[in-house]
Amino acid sequence: MIAEYDDWDATAMAAAVANGAVSAGELLDAALDRVAARNPALNAVVLMQEEKARAAIAAGLPDGPLRGVPFLLKDLGCEAVDFPSHNGSRLLANTRYRLDSAIFERIRATGVVTFGRTTSPEGGVGPATEAAIHGGPTRNPWDLARTPGGSSGGAGAAVAAGIVPAAHGSDGGGSVRIPASCCGLYGFKATRARLPDGPYAGEGWAGMAIDGFLTRSVRDSAVLLDACEGADPGAPYWAPPLGKGYRAAIARPPRRLRIALCETTLTGEAIHPDCRDAVRDAAALLESLGHAVEPARPGADTKGMMAAWTKIVGCGTALGIRKALAAKGRALGPDDVEEVSRSTLDYAATISGADYLESVGKIHAYGREMAGFFDGWDMLLTATLAEPPAMVGRFSHAGRDYVDYRMGAGMVFDYSPFCAAFNASGQPAASLPLYWTAEGLPIGIHLAARFGADEELIALSAELETARPWAGRRPPAARAGAGPKGI
């Protein structure tokens, strides 16, 4: 037993390895014990590759900043030769890769010990993780009746439950920040093109998707982002260069900032009272730290952006299905994909090339509209979600039409009206676990900064973490020895 395992973040674990207090093999054993005890109730960790992890340790781990720390990859993207993937889909089950992706190469160079993947919904579409290929829903360690979010829901559940201290995720419409909010974690979406997409893609979803991480601490995100930032060779575009980097940024507080407070959706609708209270509470905390907080709401065409986002992601989803079928040399079978994906094929067939390019233009125009708003503000403060974590089943892909799933009343964009705005604009944004409801559910606070101002955003995140530490807030599933009955 490693008594401190459940209390350490990844940085502390790596320090314990470096000073000889614990070995990488012992940490892997502890992680695997927690998978055995906690994962049956959560359904978060899949495609285990223990032998690959042990072989990596035996061969000698890279001397990186997280050497020896157990780690998990999302079952979507982050292509790796040693880690086949289902990509959340029966159609793509057991996909193997010829080359490691650039993002995986950089993650591996940190010295982490990767031993498996975490669940994601089919195609990465949706704010819940309930893929048929994974045998049912992934559940939230704070309340098993609720979702841990999506599409990096398995990553969020695994980190919140203390299986690993940090995990890979990705974010094309909030897919890191939504699980961070649902699971009481820190989730940072970097500026567009800050992290590499190659060699398998030039960009994801017209530049709206980017890799990321679910972490317990801001410093762990800083370490991983520093290790992975920068375009890979042949990238179609690059993000503005960083100054001294994420870790240097969190070493000192940011300047005093002018922060816009929006306690409604970006289109003016009311949000759940718990989420509104969380935003007001965060505003008071920021003011107590000397920041200027005033009510303001962007005038950008958010509803138009959401319609354009839906077309782009629909086309991307359909393309992925068609490519998989072409590789298999057959037509779509009745059990290959879930109903949201199947309806996406029909929807995408109605979108012409001109329609698609018009949607990309709308996304670009939205970015300019948001940039205009940020001429007068350093940050925008909102809730991460308009409601507390949703109940399991609400965002199931079964019996759903894609467009209604995204834009119907009470569906995805009503539940998550903030996150996708900053995938569209390309701006950095983060979800911070600063608030819990009376029922003990985490509520994420969302902060977004100007395009390229990643360092200022993560510095503010670190200041808030210091002012209101959240490391001690753990669900019952994160207690040492807690098995399914202890959750």
pLDDT one-digit tens code per residue, 123-151: 999 999 999 999 999 999 999 999 999 99
- Could you give the percent of the chain with pLDDT greater than 70? 98
The predicted model gives 32-52 an average pLDDT of 98
Using the predicted structure, report yes or no on whether residue 481 has a pLDDT greater than 70.
Answer: no
Task: Write down the mean pLDDT value for the chain.
Answer: 96
Measured CA to CA in angstroms, residue 96 lies from 84, 99, 181 at distances of: 5, 9, 32
Using the predicted structure, report yes or no on whether residue 297 has a pLDDT greater than 50.
Answer: yes
Using the predicted structure, report yes or no on whether residue 422 has a pLDDT greater than 60.
Answer: yes
- CB of 13 within 8 A of CB of 68? yes
Report which of 184, 149, 140 is spatially closest to residue 169, judged by C-alpha positions: 149
pLDDT one-digit tens code per residue, 100-115: 999 999 999 999 999 9
Using the predicted structure, report yes or no on whether residue 487 has a pLDDT greater than 80.
Answer: no
The predicted model gives 378-393 an average pLDDT of 98
Task: Output the pLDDT for position 478.
Answer: 76
Task: Output the pLDDT for position 486.
Answer: 35
pTM value is 0.97
Question: Which residues belong to the active site?
Answer: 74, 151, 175
The predicted model gives 1-21 an average pLDDT of 96
Look up residue 252 and give its two tokens: 């000192």
pLDDT one-digit tens code per residue, 150-167: 999 999 999 999 999 999
The topology (CATH level 3) of 10-486 is Amidase signature (AS) enzymes (3.90.1300)
In the chain, domain spans: 10-486
Using the predicted structure, report yes or no on whether residue 371 has a pLDDT greater than 60.
Answer: yes
Residue 479 pLDDT class (50, 70, 90 cuts): low
pLDDT one-digit tens code per residue, 451-465: 999 999 999 999 999
Cα 346 from chain centroid (whole Å): 28
The predicted model gives 277-283 an average pLDDT of 98
Cα 15 from chain centroid (whole Å): 25
Q: At residue 167, what are phi and psi to the nearest 5 degrees?
A: -150, 155
